[in-house]
Structure 1
Amino acid sequence: MDFLAQIETQASLMRSAAVKAGPDAPVSTCPEWTVLELVRHMAEVHTWAGQAVVTAPEDGRPKWPKAPEGFDETLSWWETGLSTLLDRLREAPADRPAWTFQGPQLASFWARRQAHETSIHRLDAELATGHELPPLVFDPEFAADGIDEMLTIMMPRQLVLGRVIEATGRVLVHAADAGRTWEVWLAPGEPLVVTGVLDSAVDADVTLAGTADAVYRALWGRPTHAIVTGDESLLAALPRP
């Protein structure tokens, strides 16, 4: 999967949507943020990730950068940080050791992570332009990978940061057009247990199903046409970022 192409494409589309919406437009999916704050966040993330790619695991977490205050200045600063990130990802062997906050301590972690980070925030920017439910459709393979990353990297990260699961049950996540299904076991105070399954018809306490695009959005708490069947409280108990 070409994660670098996704980063480039989604960042460009996010920038266009942000400019269209304007810096003062509210971002409904990121409470209390304006488009300016959304863009500043994305610029800081890309700049920080670019540093992480060239930071050895033993050197620890890179210092978080601070974007300019103004909209035009931030857009320019973001462009520089994004370019640096992409250059470093292209230059780094996928298996080169690099600092990461979760999962494999490899440079390739950042290509995947930033592809999904950028895609979700591109969706936020689209929503800020006034779309109730943007018609964009993420590619099934890419969206399914984003579902997997959320379940196996981002949610476990929340537990490392101190979140505690307070529910018991079995969640089935089904991305129909990608042909992929995940089973997630929840238990109070325990880590998530996530496994891929072949049969989407197995018993579960709650099922989240739809296109990979719809399920991807749902797990990130964005507007979606995904269908929930069963105990919705178990979905609410998932430790999302």
Structure 2
Amino acid sequence: MAAFDEQSDALREAALAAGPEATVPTCPEWTVERLVRHVAAVQAWVLACIADPHGSDARGERPPKVWDEIVPWWDGTRAELRRAFDAGPDTPAQIRFPFYEANLGSWARRQAHEVAIHRVDAELAGGRDATTFDTAFAADGVDEALSMIIHRRTADWSAVEASGTVLVHAEDARRLWSLTLTPGQPPALTGPAAPDVTLSGGADAVYKRLWRRPADVSITGEVTLLDPLETP
């Protein structure tokens, strides 16, 4: 829960510093205003999912379209979401993504990383260097991306022809992920195997690379095998 608070506050500060008309280089055709509206809409949708834990088609409120109204509306929405998280991680909540447990713990984790990556976007839009995330937080983001998020990349893997083994190494976190790619199937986390491509670097850099944000990583081997691992 603390990570959600920290990243949300940092995103808000970066967005206000950049200004609503600033372009977002990591999200083509977006301005900071569009970025904030997106985050606010997502969090309103999450609130709707929490309010209807056993439903299947939650629909959140839509944020205002005027910048001076968007920010206070978002402030209220994220404050309400934070209060909802206080019910505890095991509290049931509707979640429509595969591989996630349907509870508040899953949403708190997902939203912490959602706002963290968009924090990077807002910082870059304002001409600032992107923050360097804490090693443990970044490594958790890598784990979420590889074990859960990549399965949202497409509902139909039949056209994906990649075949091989990918090793992802967050060096400072001393964590390794090995994934097997089989044509027509989603990537599968497996035990250690000789890799066809290795993506390595600090946890912060690997985390950002998986989310297609600027990052200083090392890639050795067949780089195209990383394509199926890109987040949506």
TM bucket by the smaller chain?
over 0.9
In 1, Cα distance between the equivalents of 2:190 and 2:38? 32
- 2:93 corresponds in structure 1 to 98
Whole-angstrom CA distance in 2 between matches of 1:143 and 1:27? 22
TM-score (norm: length of structure 1): 0.90
Matched ranges for 1:2-13 at <5 A: 4-13=1-10
Question: How many equivalent pairs are there?
Answer: 229
1:173 counterpart SS class: strand
Deviations along 1:89-133, whole A, 9 cap, x unmatched?
102x322221112221122110100000010000110010113x4
1:232 aligns with 2:223: yes
Stretches of structure 2 that go unaligned for 5 or more consecutive residues are none
- SS across alignment from 2:148: helix
Q: Give distance in 2, aligned partners of 1:232 and 1:41.
A: 31
2:47, 2:60 within 8 Å by CA — same for their partners in 1?
A: no
Structure-to-structure mapping, 1:105-120, within 5 angstroms: 105-120=102-117
Which runs of 4 or more aligned residues in structure 1 lie more than 4 Å from their structure 2 counterparts after TM superposition?
none
- Structure 2 residue identity aligned to 1:18: A
Q: Hey, what does 2:187 align to over in structure 1? A: 192
Q: Distance in 2 between matches of 1:100 and 1:140?
A: 27
Give the CA deviation at 1:23: 0.7
1:239 offset after TM fit, Å? 4.9
Q: Could you tell me whether the CA contact under 8 Å between 2:187 and 2:228 is conserved in 1? A: no
Please say if 1:60 is aligned against 2:60: no
Distance 1:168 1:125, change over 3 A: same
Q: Could you tell me the percent identity over the aligned residues?
A: 43
The answer to whether the 8 A contact 2:41-2:61 is kept is yes
Q: Aligned pair 1:215/2:210, yes or no?
A: no
| Equivalent of residue 141 in structure 2, options 136, 142, 146 | 146
- Structure 1: runs of 5 or more not aligned: none
**Other-structure match for 2:156:** 162
Instruction: Say which SS state the counterpart of residue 122 (structure 1) adopts.
Output: helix
CA deviation string 1:170-220 (max 9, x = no partner): 1100001111100011111112211365xxxx5211111001000000000
Contact 1:165 1:238 in 2 (8 A): no
RMSD value over aligned CA atoms? Answer: 1.5
Aligned residue for 1:27, secondary structure, equals: coil
Q: Provide the TM-score with structure 2 as the length reference.
A: 0.93
Residue 68 to residue 33, structure 1, CA distance change in 2 (3 Å): same
